[in-house]
Amino acid sequence: MGLLKKLTELTSSQNGKMDIVKPEAIEKEKLTYHEDGYNRSKACQGIGHNLEISLDTIYQKFENKCKVDNHEQEHLKQPYVTEQKGKKTALLNKIEELEKTESNVAKVNEDIEKLNQDCRTVKTHPDKFFVDIDKKASAKFWIGMSFLLPLAAYIFVFYVSTSFSAFFREFDPGISLFQGMFDPKALSKAYEASILELCFVLFIPFVFFALGYLIHMFQEKRGIVSKLKIASLFIITFLFDAILAYLIDEKLYNLNKTFDSDAFNIAIAFQSVSFWLIIFAGFVSYIVWGLVFDFVMKEHADRDKIKSFIKEKKEAIFEKEKVLSKLKDKIEKVDDEISKLKIRISELQNIIDGLILPVMNYKALSAEYFQGWLQYISAELALGKNEQDTKLLECSAVYDKHISSLELDTDTYQNKVYTKTL
């Protein structure tokens, strides 16, 4: 047997459990060691070298005695056997926990894959997920957008030009109706006039766009109140177009009237073709834009159903991934615990297969042996005072060296554990 690794240190508080030698037996054995030390010292006249050999011999006898005393070894190793059984049970529980957690990880991964598959499939087969949409919604949406954008550009140009012509522009003689309605330099002229004039003509089209948006929103709600609101918005839009047409037609009329012509009024405006032409050039195109806008928004709503479905699934995936992360952390933790349990079980098995020495018992016995050795030198060996003191110091140095070589000079634990030499 050889010392490979000191695996466990048992403190003196465990002496009652670990030391099977009764106090009476210890005292009797101490007396025997004391007498033996005295007799051997007497036989060699207390020579230090002989003490060194004697101490090595009694340690070897003590160690051999412990090796062959199976009953004592079984008793000393019983706490390690009990601990190992507990660790093995804990290991089985941790392995079961690990398998269960890995099973949960596999299930969560399957759920995530299914959610991703649903996100891919809903785009082509929305009916499988009870998403009620027109399969041609995407095509209709883009077709509607192809009409909506040019119409929006036309309405923007129309209301910028007509509002500038109606409120700020001075008409030149001989100007035509088209030239009166559309001024290609409306924005630059308004900018040159003032920032306020520019802002006025620039943002008027957005008033009509906002009215169109409100009409669409009210159409989504059922009821008389919504219909009345829609009707009022159409009336407001028509009246504003009528005002623009009236102001432009008035300027054109005043350029061409004679001295005997009547002053321009509503009756004349209602009889003027240019008045109605200006109204319908704006109002009809606005109605068409509103209808296309409503159509595009409805088709976009169908597209939004798919986006909403995918968003919901993505949120579910995110939650699953958080659960997956926690499960992986748990697996890592359980793996670490299993590894530590296996290492400890292996260490305990090495202890069980090895040797346990009750080293404090040996230290007490060797101390008695040494005291017997010194007793002879002090009491019976015929030496002078100085020679006697020198020999006592020499023997004390030999004993201290022996205790130090066994690492018993600083250790306070009751037992030392040794494993078999590999």
Q: pLDDT: is 131 or 378 the higher one?
A: 378
Q: Are 391 and 46 in contact (CB under 8 A)?
A: yes
What does the pLDDT read at residue 172?
Answer: 57
Q: Supply φ then ψ for residue 380, to 5 degrees.
A: -125, -25
- Is 84 contained in some domain? no
pLDDT at 8 over 70: no
Q: Which of 269, 12, 298, 26 is nearest to 136 (CA)?
A: 298
Co-location of 195 and 321 in the same domain: yes
pLDDT, greater one: 73 or 21: 73
Residue with tokens 């030698």: 21
Total domains in the chain come to 2
* pLDDT recorded at residue 111: 92
With cut-offs at 50, 70 and 90, classify the pLDDT of residue 107. very high
Question: Quick check: is 90 in a domain?
Answer: no
The rounded distance, in Å, linking the Cα atoms of 199 and 203 is: 6
**Residue 224 φ/ψ, nearest 5 degrees:** -65, -40
Residues 235 and 380 in one domain: no
The helix-helix angle for 48-68 and 23-44 (nearest 10°) equals: 150
Q: pLDDT tens digits for 185-226?
A: 777 777 777 788 778 777 777 877 777 777 777 776 777 887
88: in domain: no
Asked if 307 and 362 sit in the same domain, the reply is no
Residue 358: pLDDT over 70: yes
Counting every residue, how long is the chain?
422
**What is the model's pLDDT at position 65?**
84
Task: Give me the pLDDT at residue 15, please.
Answer: 37
2: left (phi over 0), alpha (psi -120 to 50) or beta: beta
Residues 309 and 378 in one domain: no
Sorted by sequence, the CB contacts under 8 Å of residue 305 that are 6+ apart come out as 126, 131, 132, 133
Tell whether 322 and 362 lie within a shared domain.
Answer: no
Could you tell me if 245 and 180 are in contact, meaning their C-beta atoms sit under 8 angstroms apart? Answer: no
Whether the predicted pLDDT of 150 surpasses 70: yes
Share of the chain above pLDDT 70, in %: 76
Q: What is the pTM for the complete model shown?
A: 0.48
Same domain, 180 and 321: yes
- Give the pLDDT band of residue 269 (cuts 50, 70, 90): confident
Domain boundary at 275, 303, 326, which? 326
pLDDT category, 272, cuts 50, 70, 90?
Answer: confident
Same domain, 257 and 381: no
The verdict on residue 1 lying in a domain is no
SS (H, E, C) 61-126: HHHHHHHHCHHHHHHHHHHHHHHHHHHHHHHHHHHHHHHHHHHHHHHHHHHHHHHHHHHHHCCCCH
The single residue listed with the structure tokens 């030391």 is: 19
Q: Same domain for 305 and 370?
A: no
Q: Residue 267 belongs to what domain range? A: 129-326
Task: Say what the pLDDT of residue 330 is.
Answer: 93
pLDDT averaged over every residue in the chain: 77
For residue 329, the model assigns a pLDDT of 94
